[in-house]
């Protein structure tokens, strides 16, 4: 139980690092990628970059977070996805005043939007990192 009490705050801190990485990635996309690649290609490239950031942070931090097993590692991933989606949609709408329809566009595969990869990678990254590091 003692380890689990430390695991959740550490997982939250690591998620804050993911959030910082996502902000940096968004700035990189808008400042450098969009002017060079266009919006559609920049979206795909940015998605790949953020997926790599999530995987690298999970791999680098999983021992520090110290889940007791695969189930706890998946629970961390589920928590990260819930926090990510809550932030993306709630902050996106209420703080940044983006319409719900615009926020949902990133998940429309029929329009070439591949952002759905991010919640999937975020869900599985702690489990994959735990498997590779244990």
In a domain, 112, yes or no: yes
* Residue 121: closest CA among 81, 90, 72, 76: 81
pLDDT band at 134 (very low <50, low <70, confident <90, very high): confident
In a domain, 55, yes or no: yes
In a domain, 134, yes or no: no
Q: Do the beta carbons of residue 54 and residue 125 sit within 8 Å?
A: yes
Residue 34 neighbours by CB distance under 10 Å: 17
**Distance from C-alpha of 27 to C-alpha of 36, rounded to nearest angstrom:** 14
pLDDT digits over 27-67, tens only? 999 999 999 999 999 999 999 999 999 999 999 999 999 99
In a domain, 12, yes or no: yes
In a domain, 21, yes or no: yes
* Number of domains, the chain: 1
Write down the pLDDT at residue 106: 85
Residue range(s) defining the domain that contains residue 113: 2-129
B/e letters for 53-66, b = 16+ CB within 10 Å, e = fewer, are bbbebbbebbeebb
């Amino acid at each position: 139980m003692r380890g689990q009490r430390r695991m959740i705050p550490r997982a939250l801190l690591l998620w804050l690092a993911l959030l910082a990485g996502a902000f940096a990635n968004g700035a990189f996309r808008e400042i450098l990628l969009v002017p060079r690649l266009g919006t559609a290609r920049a979206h795909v490239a940015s998605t790949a970059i953020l997926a790599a950031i999530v995987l690298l942070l999970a791999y680098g931090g999983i021992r520090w977070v110290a889940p007791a097993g695969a189930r706890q590692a998946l629970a961390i991933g589920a928590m990260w996805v819930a926090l990510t989606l809550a932030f993306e949609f709630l902050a996106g709408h209420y703080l940044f005043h983006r319409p719900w329809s615009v926020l949902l566009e990133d998940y429309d595969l029929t329009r070439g939007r591949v952002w759905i990869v991010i919640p999937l990678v975020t869900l599985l990254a702690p489990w994959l990192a735990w498997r590779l590091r244990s």
